[in-house]
Amino acid sequence: MNGKVDVTIIGAGPYGLSIAAHLRKLNVDFRILGRPMHSWLVNMPKDMLLKSAGFASNLYDPDRAFPLRRYCEEHHVPYGDIDFPIPLEAFCSYGKAFQERFVPNLEDEDVAALTQVDGGFDVRLNYGKVFRTQKIIVAVGLDYFRHIPKELASLPKEFLSHSADHHDLVKFKGKEVVVIGSGAAGTDIAVLLHENQTKVHLVARQRSMNFGAPWDNSAQPFLHRLRNPISGIGPGMRGKIWSDAPWLYRFFSDDFRIMTAKTFLGPSGGWFMKERARGLDVFLGFTVASSTVSEGRVRLDLIKHDGSTNQLSGNHVISATGYIVDVKHIPFLNSSIVEKLRLVGKAPRLSCHFESSVPGLYFVGPISATSFGPVMRFMVGADFTSRKISKHLAALCNTRKWWRSGSLETSGTG
């Protein structure tokens, strides 16, 4: 056993780093494990532009002193609060700068297993060392929840990949690729491939390509602006409610929470991709009925919503079909822990402090969307999360320290 700690954060993306910055300010004894901004650096395509607005693309320190705007000013990087697409590379550099400034104790380690013990958990790292912690915050993002339709899943891996498998798309130059899905990932990858001299076919069940609209409504009439206020997840009254009052979401029925967390702000490309996508070869209203490999090429049988069929072939298929959250897919959670979790759908049911039904085990980020709403699918959700969970944990840990100190002083004077 290699020491004890009050709190351990697993994951070093926007949520994990923001929480760590708050715990550090509150003098909570914690460890944070993971590579900074790993999913953003590895699982998203190079030259991508963020779909979220600049003002909603922050990591959160306790004093809100280092937003993306501040980083861009310090490093002379172009920036705009609204309707100025932020390059992925700039955001990742900002995230790493945030980590170096506010979370210098980040450990580049992976968790192999988590075991519940009396008074907490044993954390086993990949290289074999074990330490004990009283509280665990799971901030692993989406990578464990990649979804590939069953009609594609049997293809050999050299012919099939998920959109999250690709950062540099140059390896597909001169080849023929079929992209499945027209959400942000599918649209971005298809456009970037097309611009990189790759022959691309985009297949989507949607009957039209959807692109978000610019957020700035300052030129609109007053009543329009009143009905469509700007929030961290876009314009609109519902978005404003979910963004500003995530605590409210827990009072709705499970069915409503599951449906809304999944479908609110459905698949769409960024508004700035509309013109760039005009040259794509698209098959809209189609789903994949079957897939095979023949003579070194993937062959897809497609069926349209009206029953008509089509066929496509290519060197490779990229499934940009998103993620389906399922807590059972987190590999370091053993079955004895998972079996104790109460669920909303396939995600843990969480308290107002993000704690699951397993005492001391907390979940944040997209996996918390069925408890706190669709804002948790976006970076801006880290604002509420980091404030809420850090105050809760600081109160618990500091009370425990005070009690221990008081007990020692009492026993020493007895």
pLDDT tens readout for residues 346-387: 999 999 999 999 999 999 999 999 999 999 999 999 999 999
Strands (E), 144-213: 160-162, 176-180, 199-204
- Tokens (6 digits) for 146: 């990649």
Supply φ then ψ for residue 35, to 5 degrees. Answer: -100, 135
Structure confidence by residue, pLDDT tens digits, 339-351: 999 999 999 999 9
All domains of the chain in start order, with CATH: 4-145+323-409 (3.50.50.60), 150-211+268-319 (3.50.50.60)
Which of these, 49, 288, 321, 291, lies nearest to 164 by C-alpha position? 321
Rounded CA-CA distance 181/93 in Å is: 29
Name the DSSP letter for residue 85: P
Q: At CA 29, angle to CA 411 and CA 356, rounded to 5?
A: 100
Q: Left (φ > 0), alpha (ψ -120 to 50) or beta: where does 227 sit?
A: alpha
Provide CB contacts within 8 A for 307, sequence distance 6+. none
Structure confidence by residue, pLDDT tens digits, 121-154: 999 999 889 999 999 999 999 999 999 999 999 9
pLDDT at residue 410 is higher than 50: no
Q: Which amino acid is at 272?
A: F
For the entire predicted model, the pTM comes to: 0.93
Mean of per-residue pLDDT scores for the chain:
93
Provide CB contacts within 8 A for 121, sequence distance 6+. 8, 114, 115, 132, 133, 134, 136, 360, 361
Supply φ then ψ for residue 240, to 5 degrees. Answer: -65, -45
